[in-house]
């Protein structure tokens, strides 16, 4: 209620500008068919600020009628047009649940997912909306496998997964730079498990070798033997997977030093 009051006041403020006075007449009108017509005109002109208060009122007025569906959908679309993606996704989801047989349900379901996509922040921030967008796009593809939007959904899912990959990699690298090599090791392994086809797979694999090496170097003596042995194991897996890696020289150096320790731990 406070929101609609705010929007009405904003719209009334706009109506005070030269050439805007007709909007005040629309707001005060008791002719709901007229309001319905004008709301669509504002929507078509992308004047969502004026359209939104009208649809918020009309939803109640036309509830249970053949105009209810349009009012619900366009109300959600106004939020979308104004960039309020959190509310828009909420109302689009409510729409396709309330009107599952509507000819607008497919579009509403896609826009619900797309709102999460638009609200997905850069990879360094919390990625809850990114994962939600992926889930919603996948649900859309399942529900509408023949839709002409399927290709776009798959492209957007790939873009979102790339963001999650970068988030996972940078989180692991942060542990590494903090000197928490054990946590970095676990995080890089998890990254490769979750994103086996990642474009950063080679670097992540190398960082596992490096994290294990530094973990061994900084371990108490009684744990070094076992941990240097693990360095050699990770190295062999690394060169087997990436025999021409750009990280090969540094990896070989860590392998050589690990072998030296294992050959004569008492002198290390």
First and final CA of the chain: distance in angstroms? 73
Query: DSSP labels for 20-89?
Result: -THHHHHHH---HHHHHHHHHHHHHTT-HHHHHHHHHHHHHHTTTSTTHHHHHHHHHHHHHHTT-HHHHH
**Res 85: pLDDT:** 96
Residue 70 in contact with residue 107, Cβ under 8 Å? no
CATH of the domain at 53: 1.25.40.10
Q: What is the pLDDT of residues 49-60, one digit of tens each?
A: 999 999 999 999
pLDDT tens by residue, 74-106: 999 999 999 999 999 999 999 999 999 999 999
Domain extent at residue 61: 1-98
| Residue ranges, the chain, pLDDT below 70 | 1-20, 265-268
Report, in angstroms and rounded to the nearest whole number, the Rg of the chain calculated over CA atoms: 29
Give the residue from 18, 1, 84 showing the smallest Cα distance to 49. 84
Q: What is the mean pLDDT of the chain?
A: 91
Residue entry with tokens 């805007």: 20
- What pLDDT is recorded for position 127? 86
Domain assignment present for residue 73? The answer is: yes
Does residue 66 lie within any of the structural domains?
yes
DSSP 252: H
- Is residue 192 in some structural domain? no
Single out the residue of 22, 41, 45 nearest to residue 33, CA to CA. Answer: 41
According to the model, what pLDDT value does residue 10 have? 53
Total tally of structural domains belonging to the chain: 1
Residue 117 covered by a domain? no
Q: Is residue 32 part of a domain?
A: yes
Domain membership of residue 46 (yes or no) is yes
Q: What is the pLDDT of residue 143?
A: 96
| Within-domain flag for 85 | yes
Tell if the pTM clears 0.75, that is, is over it: yes
CA dist., res. 148 & res. 150, Å (int): 6
pLDDT at 126: 80
Q: Does some domain include residue 257?
A: no
């Amino acid at each position: 209620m406070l929101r609609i009051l705010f929007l009405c006041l904003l719209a009334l403020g706009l109506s005070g500008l030269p050439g805007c006075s007709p909007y005040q007449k629309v707001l005060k009108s008791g002719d709901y068919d007229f309001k319905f017509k004008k709301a669509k005109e504002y929507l078509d002109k992308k004047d969502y600020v004026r359209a939104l208060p009208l649809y918020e009122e009309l939803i109640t007025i036309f509830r249970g009628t053949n105009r209810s569906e349009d009012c619900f959908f366009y109300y959600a679309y106004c939020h979308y047009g104004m960039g309020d993606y959190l509310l828009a996704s909420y109302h689009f989801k409510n729409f396709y649940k309330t009107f599952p047989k509507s000819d607008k349900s497919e579009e509403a379901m896609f826009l619900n997912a797309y709102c999460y996509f638009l609200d997905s922040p850069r990879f360094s921030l919390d990625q809850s909306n990114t994962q939600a967008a992926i889930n919603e796009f996948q649900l859309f593809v399942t529900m509408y496998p023949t839709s002409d939007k399927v290709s776009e959904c798959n492209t957007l899912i790939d873009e979102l997964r790339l963001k999650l990959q970068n988030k996972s990699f940078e989180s692991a690298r942060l542990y590494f730079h903090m000197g928490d090599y054990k946590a970095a090791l676990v995080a890089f392994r998890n990254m490769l498990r979750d994103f086996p086809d990642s474009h950063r797979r080679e670097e992540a694999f190398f960082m596992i070798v490096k994290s294990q090496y530094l973990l061994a170097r900084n371990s108490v003596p009684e744990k070094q033997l076992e941990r240097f042995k693990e360095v050699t194991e990770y190295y062999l897996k690394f060169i087997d997977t990436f025999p021409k890696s750009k990280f090969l020289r540094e990896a070989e150096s860590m392998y050589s030093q690990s072998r030296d320790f294992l050959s004569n731990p008492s002198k290390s």
